[in-house]
Amino acid sequence: MDSSPGARERLISTAVTLLAEEGIEAVKLRRIARAAGVSHGAPLRHFTGRAELLSAVATTGFRELRRRGRELPPGAPRDRLRAACRAYLDFALGDPAMFELMFRHDLVDAHEPELAAANSAVFDLFGELVAAVQAEGWRAGTETRLLTGSLWAALHGLAELWLWGGLSTAAPDPDAALSVTLDVFLEGERSDVSSVHPGAS
């Protein structure tokens, strides 16, 4: 039945599929209901409106991103941080519609509890990885959350620019752009020291 607990999950999973196959514009209540095989009114028995349903869909994106981050191979802290950044970029390029929706605050409710918690969980995961590298001496005096936010901004910007074609003339592929970005980010402190103290070894 349309009001069964399973119907809610079916609506979410159907919306996820439509999003991947047809883009954000396809993810509308009537379209989702039709694809899920439920009545047009069914979505409103489980969600207050499109924003709440899209928030649930975006939540699945953040959970998948966190899952990938939790499955990093063992290794040195810097290697794990680099692997997490690569997983972030791979996620964005592999599912661009989901990636866009996750940050479209005009379409989702960023304060919806489950979405906010899933978003924070990804940030906290990156924060743990950043802190582990800091423990080895990298930018030890910088506040971890600020450093994590800066890294996330760099990753997100790189992903969006690549998806929009803004880096096609600057880098041969997204991996090359990511490699340079992380080299600058992780080794930048050493460059800064050398530029301020030219005689430093």
Residue 14 makes CB contacts below 8 A (sequence gap 6+) with 32, 35, 36
Q: What is the pLDDT of residue 199?
A: 43
Q: What is the pLDDT of residue 189?
A: 52
As annotated, the residues of the chain forming the CATH 1.10.10 domain(s) are 1-47
State the Cα–Cα distance between residues 36 and 12, nearest whole angstrom.
9
In the three-class reduction of DSSP (H, G, I as helix; E, B as strand; rest coil), residue 148 is classed as helix
Q: How far is CA 162 from CA 106, 146, 173, 188, in A?
A: 22, 24, 9, 23
Q: What is the pLDDT of residue 58?
A: 98
Q: Are 144 and 131 in contact (CB under 8 A)?
A: yes
As annotated, the residues of the chain forming the CATH 1.10.357.10 domain(s) are 50-188
Q: Are 162 and 177 in contact (CB under 8 A)?
A: yes
Exposure b/e, 130-154, CB count within 10 A at least 16 = b: beebbeeebbeeeebeebbeebbeb
* Superfamily for the 50-188 domain: Tetracycline Repressor, domain 2 (1.10.357.10)
Is the sign of the CA dihedral 161, 162, 168, 169 positive or negative?
A: positive
Residue 114 makes CB contacts below 8 A (sequence gap 6+) with 55, 56, 59
pTM higher than 0.95, yes or no?
Answer: no
Instruction: Write out the CATH class of domain 1-47.
Output: mainly alpha
Q: What is the pLDDT of residue 128?
A: 97
Could you read off the pLDDT tens digit of each residue along the chain, which spans 201 residues?
455 558 889 999 999 999 999 999 889 999 999 998 888 888 888 898 999 999 999 999 999 999 999 999 999 999 999 999 999 999 999 999 999 999 999 999 999 999 999 999 999 999 999 999 999 999 999 999 999 999 999 999 999 988 887 776 666 788 888 998 899 888 755 434 333 334 443
